[in-house]
Amino acid sequence: MACPWRNPYAEVTDGGPIPMPNLFDSTAMISTFRTANRLLTDLVPPDQSWVEIKPGPVLSMRMSKAQEAELAKTLFQIQQIIVMVFKSDKFINSIWEAFLDMLVSGLGAMLVLENVHNDTEPLIFITASQAEISVEDGPDGAPAAIFRRPRVKPRNIKRLWPTAKLNDELLEMLKDNKKSNKAVELMEVTELDHKSGKWVYRVFYRKKGDDPHQLVMQEHDTCPWILFPWSKIPGCEYGPGPVLLSLPDIRTANKVVEFQLKNAALALAGMYLVQDDGVVNPDTIQIIPGGMIPVKSTGGSMGASMTPLPVGRDFDLSQFILADLRTGIRQSLSDQSLPPADGTRRSATEIIERMRVLTSDFGGAVGRLTSALVALVRRVADVLGRRGMIPKVKIDNFALRVQVNSPLAQAQQLSLVEKVVRWIEICQTIGGPQLTALVAKLEEILVWIGGQIGVPNDLIRDVTERAAERKKMEDMAAMQAAAGMDTAQAAGGMGGMQPA
């Protein structure tokens, strides 16, 4: 009822129609798509660099400020290559589909594979619906195995897995154009090997009644699957999405609109009582505008041949019920519009408040989605490093860490920025600029704020550049002071001269 064109639970065979329920209210559909668009623009904006790779706390503790700044420059270059992958149209379409599935069923899943056939698009992004996959948690509560039953045409198996070892049956299918274009069902197993810490990825083909034939077996340092959970229930691999949470309101609103349409149809077309007088035939009669119905009599002792049946009802109450239901649906799907950003210039406090509204709308899902994006960056960096496109880096949040700078992620960071800014304002109010400069590291605070709100590193001066700029300012101030003293001395000497 929120996305009837793509049922995440029912299997659809090749060429078969997708079942669609009797839909009369579009509130859930519109809000679901609007929320998916909002997640795309506010969590992974295509026109922005929403990810940043930085030295982790272990390296920051062991390296000097100059060494850390030099490492940050190298990481920035690696980051730029990773960002180009996220700006591809295939990634944008795939992650939007994953968000849509997440809103409907509570879990979005995207498979990230290496594309060895194309250097300009080094990765393949495949979105899987709930009808295809099954997730199994490990003893620690984290996903430890992901199973999938994809339907793939035989001619596309080598495109997805170039190292796949086809059996005789699949090879025979490739020789027949008709059979090679008919999708077959495969079995895909992705498991975490707790001893080695690697993810084992295998693909099988099995004809009914036969043992499975292994097509692909790979080992990865990172999980090929990126899971986007909206919620999580203890003891369960899945949690409900906002559509399932608001399903009672969605179904009730749909039924109310259905009753309204039926009532409107009765009011427009009407219902009639037809007298069985042998003249009026209800099987052939047509009630159309301007139509003429031949009757023996319209009145008399026997009564009229046709009498309108009153069907009008006071349906004003349904409008109030429907308005409350639609408001609840939009709130459940976080489809709440913010005030317009145009007009007068916004203050820093208002911008922070607007970002806080975004975070409160999505609740704890922001943290879970941010963790999924960190796993996505780790997976992309792993594949690009294996292809030699970037140096091999290990993002473990200790040596190197990922900072997500999307608007929704920044909203959580801005709360800390707000505290620092208010502290500086209080210091200036109580002690003035001099005392504030004495107790606060203003230079480092400004650099830190720039990193928190996602300012690119190449726009912020590092330690060496700041020292050189500070030296220039000190030399310029000394020159101005010396020039002022010379001018004062010259003025004093001229003032002491007496006319002859």
> Environment class of residue 82 by beta-carbon count within 10 Å: exposed (0-12), middle (13-18) or buried (19+)?
buried
Whether pLDDT at 445 is above 60: yes
Q: Return the pLDDT at 146.
A: 95
Which residues face 274 on adjacent strands?
A: 306
Taking only the tens place, the pLDDT of each residue in 32-87 is 999 999 889 888 998 888 888 988 888 888 888 788 888 888 898 999 999 999 99
Return phi, psi of residue 271, to 5°: -130, 150
Taking only the tens place, the pLDDT of each residue in 176-217 is 888 889 989 999 999 999 888 899 999 999 876 778 999 999
Residues 146 and 133 sit within 8 Å (Cβ to Cβ):
yes
Q: Where are the domains of the chain?
A: 27-244, 247-332
Q: Return the pLDDT at 353.
A: 62
Which residues face 306 on adjacent strands?
A: 274
Q: Return the pLDDT at 407.
A: 75
24 vs 254: CA distance, rounded Å: 5
379 vs 110: CA distance, rounded Å: 12
370 vs 142: CA distance, rounded Å: 16
Q: Which of 402, 394, 393, 392 is nearest to 370 (CA)?
A: 402
Q: Which of 417, 451, 267, 358 is nearest to 39 (CA)?
A: 358
- What type of residue sits at position 204? F
* DSSP per-residue string spanning 46-76: TTS--EEEEE-HHHHHHS-HHHHHHHHHHHH
Q: State how far the alpha carbon of 390 is from the alpha carbons of 16, 54, 222, in Å.
A: 44, 15, 16
Q: Return the pLDDT at 18.
A: 58
107 vs 99: CA distance, rounded Å: 8
For 299, other C-beta atoms within 10 Å of its C-beta total 8
Which residues face 226 on adjacent strands?
A: 110
CA atoms 432, 437, 443, 446: torsion sign: negative
With both helix axes pointing from N to C terminus, report the angle between 65-86 and 463-495 in degrees, rounded to the nearest 10: 120
Q: Return the pLDDT at 486.
A: 67
Q: State how far the alpha carbon of 348 is from the alpha carbons of 237, 352, 355, 361, 428, in Å.
A: 41, 6, 11, 20, 17
Helical (H) or strand (E) element with 97:
helix 89-105
DSSP 16: P
> Environment class of residue 238 by beta-carbon count within 10 Å: exposed (0-12), middle (13-18) or buried (19+)?
middle
Q: Return the pLDDT at 10.
A: 56
Taking only the tens place, the pLDDT of each residue in 451-500 is 777 677 677 887 778 888 888 888 888 888 777 776 766 666 655 555 54
Whether pLDDT at 419 is above 80: yes
How confident is the model over 214-233, as a mean pLDDT? 93
DSSP 19: P
Return the residue matching tokens 């080992």: 219
Q: Which two tokens stand for residue 487?
A: 């001018």
Q: What is the dihedral of CA 251, 108, 100, 363, to 10 degrees?
A: 80
* DSSP per-residue string spanning 310-342: ------HHHHHHHHHHHHHHHHHTT--PPPPS-
**Portion of the chain with pLDDT greater than 90, in percent:** 29
* Least confidently predicted of 107-111, 242-246, 260-264, 407-411: 407-411
**Helices in 388-462 by DSSP H: which ranges?**
407-439, 442-452
Q: Return the pLDDT at 305.
A: 64
* Least confidently predicted of 147-151, 154-158, 218-222, 482-486: 482-486
Q: Return the pLDDT at 205.
A: 94
CA 34 to chain CA centroid, nearest Å: 11
For 297, other C-beta atoms within 10 Å of its C-beta total 13
Residues 359 and 412 sit within 8 Å (Cβ to Cβ):
yes
437 vs 345: CA distance, rounded Å: 29
440 vs 419: CA distance, rounded Å: 13
124 vs 161: CA distance, rounded Å: 11
Q: Return the pLDDT at 311.
A: 57
Taking only the tens place, the pLDDT of each residue in 104-130 is 888 999 999 998 878 788 999 999 988
Count of all residues that appear for the chain in the document: 500
Whether pLDDT at 421 is above 90: no
